[in-house]
Structures are given as structure tokens and as C-alpha cells.
Amino acid sequence: MLPRRPLAWLAWVLRGPPGPRGACAPGAAGSWSKRAGPLARRGCCTAPGTPEVPLTQERYPVRRLPFSAVSEQDLVAFERIVPGGVVTDPEALQASNVDWLRTLRGCSKVLLRPRTSEEVSRVLRHCHERNLAVNPQGGNTGMVGGSIPVFDEIILSTALMNRVLSFHSVSGILVCQAGCVLEELSRYVEERDFIMPLDLGAKGSCHIGGNVATNAGGLRLLRYGPLRGTVLGLEVVLADGTVLDCLTSLRKDNTGYDLKQLFIGSEGTLGVITAVSILCPPKPRAVNVAFLGCPGFAEVLQTFSTCKKMLGEILSAFEFMDAECMHLVGRHLHLASPVQESPFYILIETSGSNAGHDAEKLGSFLEHALGSSLVTDGTMATDQRKVKMLWALRERITEALSRDGYVYKYDLSLPVERLYDIVTDLRARLGPQAKHVVGYGHLGDGNLHLNVTAEAFSPSLLGALEPHVYEWTARQQGSVSAEHGVGFRKRDVLGYSKPREALQLMQQLKALLDPKGILNPYKTLPSQA
């Protein structure tokens, strides 16, 4: 039973929000019934006391495509397909309509929570027939607005698709549903002496299906490579409800096109991933973490080169952060630096099978680095508690930034020798317009996380950042998205990293697999391809 709401609120929902786009209402695609049924009584809602996030459609120049609007008859059909899995309460929908950074907001009135690929298939078949737009959603931890609706798309959540289907203790091959949380999968395989091949700061919330759909990188890519190499098979439901079962567990299968690669990194625009087969490496018996202070970025680069030569096969992570990052995690999260203040900090992780061998190699490296003045101070951890404390300094930078104000985030791939130059460039360019300009990331992968904070969203600051950041990246032959994906935010800047012919082919693939364009519209592909 819904609580009684003021008549003015109900009239607003029936009439549609003000403004030229009015996209929370059906518009030309349909009209609400004169009888105020359950759906008509449900609209966009913000919980009392929570600062309201502006609607995406009001902040950005985007218009609703001519999709149908959800009707009462659609709700009845969905309840038959997903019994008990249809959510229409505005307060329950609020979190699913807002991105993790709280900078984008859609106004979906319906969230579906299927448990099986068959239910997903029936949902998509119905939506395809009715021309209803669908927004697939996993843990909703994305940084580019790919997991939330732009307008009133139906949210299709994989949260209840969280079963491990099989695990082979000899090969280390895990098969699971797409809604399994990464941290829970990590615990599952670690109990069996394996680890997941990826690790992310958002591991406590993100889903493996979302990781695959965005081709997430993370903290272990240096050692175990990208998901395109460790994912062995996928089960995917296409826009018309067809179930594509490519859920193989074979390491080698050279029989024609590798179709799973189409869906890795496609962000739900070509199909909905419902199950994943992934190769898990053996759990290392010895893990060491060193946290070091560096006097300059040139020394960071030299340390990385030396590290690769001296640590070789046991090197599993090489992360860097600047002094501003350390200042922010200290100020907002009260995390203390374990080393003396430095312009840059490095986190090095080794993983191997022989603790004595690994400690000897790491000790020799640290002695050399300190003796040659590449690093000025450092600490090392082998016990799990201290290892986690050191990793927290790196993993929680995003959280600290989110507490510093509005965040402009850029996830760039660049030649390692130019990785930090854009940070220096922006500090000079922006001056007092920005509170902080920081750089950190996966140096071993050439991946910079460039972040600019301000008190609030500012069109003038955005204008100073874009397209400058993308033009600068293009001049270095870099990529405007290293691991976060494209989503809504970056769809119109792909031309800085992809040639026109590639964008046209991507558009053709979308038209082939989703001719009505119902899957995650307004995302990944340029609005004008």
C-alpha cells in the first residue's frame, strides 16, 4: 500500500515535469490513462533530507527517443514474467535512478529483478515487441553514467542473479550468474585456493556481469591481463529475447568468430550478459606490499623500470598517487601516511609461491631504490592487516574525492612518460577555478585517473576542461577511456580515440543486434555517428 501523497504531487506526475523536454512523461509516445492507476501514481522521488541530484535530461542536451511508455498492461505482463520482482515504489527506485557519483539522475518508474536468463529473455521479448527501452544494471558503481537511465527506461537489475553455477578445482574455471558480487566471488574462490583475476575498489558492490560489460581493468591487470583474456565464455540475452549460449569453459576454441568479445565492453548496448565463465589464477602463497615516497615523477618512472627488471614474474601491481591524493584521503577519511611527506607515492605488490624468495627479491629492490635516491622513504607489509591498510590509501582515493565536492573525472590511457603532464597542465590552466587537480592510477598499465574537484558543478569549469583534456589525449595517441567505459558521459568524444570508419562499424553492429535500439539507449555510441 502506497502512502497518501498530496494532490499537487499526483497532478505533477500525471502532467509531467516542467521544461521543454518533459521526458519523465510519455510525451508523444503515449499518454497516461485518465484513471490514476498504480503506475500513474509513481514518479521520480527524492528521499526526505537528501540533496536532489539534477535530472540528466535537464543538465545535458539530450532528447528522448520515440520509445513507448510503460503501461498498466505492461506491469501486469512483467508481474507474470517476474513474480514478485517488479518494483514501482518511488523511494525504492531512487537509488537505481542515481549514479554512484550522484551527478546523473534518470526517472525510471519500473525496476525488474529477474532470477534466471529465461526471465530476462521473456522480459526483453516483451519490451522488443512493445518498443520499450531497457537499462541493464548491475551494482551501479560505474563512473560514466552507463548503468542508470537517462529518461524513463525500464531498469533491468541482475541483483538476484547471484548463483555460482560451477567451479573446477583443477582448471580454476568459475561459471556464475552475472549478478554475483565481485567480493563474494573472491571469497568463494579464495576458499578453494584461487583468486579472481580482477580486483577493484568497488568490489564490495560491483557485479561480475557489469565488470565484463564495461571491460573493467582494476588493480590486477598488470599481472593477469584484461578480462578479454580471462573471460572464457558468456551467456547473453539479445534485444529480441534470443538467448545466446556461448558459456564455454574451454581455454582454446578456434571455431570461427569469437562472439563473446562483442559483448565484453559493450555496456549492455548489444545484449544483456546473464552468466560468465572466467579463468581464475591460483592463490599466491606469499603477498608483499611496499609503500614508497618519491621525490618526482621522473623517479616514479625510473622506479617502475627498475621494479620490472628486479622483481620480474612476482610483480603484480604498481600504483602511483600524488601528494594531493594523500592530502585528501587524510583530510576526508582520516587515513595517515605511513611514510614521510613526498611529492609522489608508489604502492608495489608482489605475489608468488615462495615467501623467502619473494622477500629476498623485494628487499634487494628496495635497497637499490633507496641507495640510488629513487625513493626517499618506504614501508613494507606482509601480514594481511597491514597490507589492507596500505591498499586502502590507494583504493579509497575515489571516496575521498567524492567528499571534496563536485568531481570531474577522466580515465585516460597515455604513454607512461607523458602520464602526469596533463595534471601539471591543468593546474596551470584552471588556477583557482578548481579546488584540487589530482592524478593517480595504474602506472603499470599506462592508466591515469585525472580528477578535478570544485565546490559545485560549473559550466565554465567544464568548458575549460572539455574538449581540452580530450584534445590533449588525442595528441598523445591516447584513449579517452582506459577502463571506466564510455556510458553516457563519453559517448560523444569517441572520435578522439576511434576513426570515423570504426564508429560507423560500431553503429552497424548495434543496428544488427538491436535494430529498435531499446538496449541502454543514449550510451556508448555517439549521438551523431
Where do the structural domains in the chain lie, given as residue ranges?
Answer: 64-157, 164-279, 286-476
Question: Of 368, 376, 372, which Cα lies nearest the Cα of 346?
Answer: 376
Distance CA 496, CA 479 (A): 8
**Share above pLDDT 70 across residues of the chain, in percent, rounded to a whole number:** 90
The model's confidence at residue 3, banded by pLDDT at 50, 70 and 90, is very low
The model's confidence at residue 21, banded by pLDDT at 50, 70 and 90, is very low
Distance CA 288, CA 316 (A): 10
Letter for the amino acid at 474?
A
Distance CA 155, CA 149 (A): 7
- H-only helix segments in 131-268: 182-190, 208-213, 221-224, 227-230, 260-263
Query: DSSP class of residue 54?
Result: P
Judge whether 230 and 194 are in contact, CB under 8 Å. no
Average pLDDT of span 136-152: 96
Cα-based distances in Å from 303 to 25, 118, 320, 415 = 57, 52, 11, 16
The model's confidence at residue 2, banded by pLDDT at 50, 70 and 90, is very low
Judge whether 393 and 347 are in contact, CB under 8 Å. yes
Ranges of beta strands (E only) in 216-300 are 231-237, 243-246, 272-279, 286-294
220-263: pLDDT as tens digits: 889 999 999 999 999 999 999 999 999 999 999 999 999 999 99
146-164: pLDDT as tens digits: 999 999 999 999 999 999 9
Give the three cell numbers for residue 422. Answer: 596533463
Question: Of 422, 310, 322, which Cα lies nearest the Cα of 366?
Answer: 310
Distance CA 295, CA 339 (A): 13
**β-strands 315-322, 344-352 pairing:** antiparallel
Average of per-residue pLDDT values in the chain: 90
Question: CATH class for domain 286-476?
Answer: alpha beta
Give the three cell numbers for residue 463. Answer: 568548458
Question: Of 74, 86, 79, 72, which Cα lies nearest the Cα of 127?
Answer: 74
Judge whether 40 and 14 are in contact, CB under 8 Å. yes
Question: CATH class for domain 64-157?
Answer: alpha beta
Q: Model-level pTM?
A: 0.88
66: Cβ contacts below 8 Å, ≥ 6 apart: 28, 29
Judge whether 69 and 30 are in contact, CB under 8 Å. yes
| Residue 5 predicted with pLDDT over 80 | no
180-218: pLDDT as tens digits: 999 999 999 999 999 999 998 899 999 999 999 999 988
What's residue 496's pLDDT?
Answer: 96
Query: DSSP class of residue 67?
Result: P
Identify the H or E element spanning 450.
strand 447-454
CATH fold for domain 164-279: 3.30.465
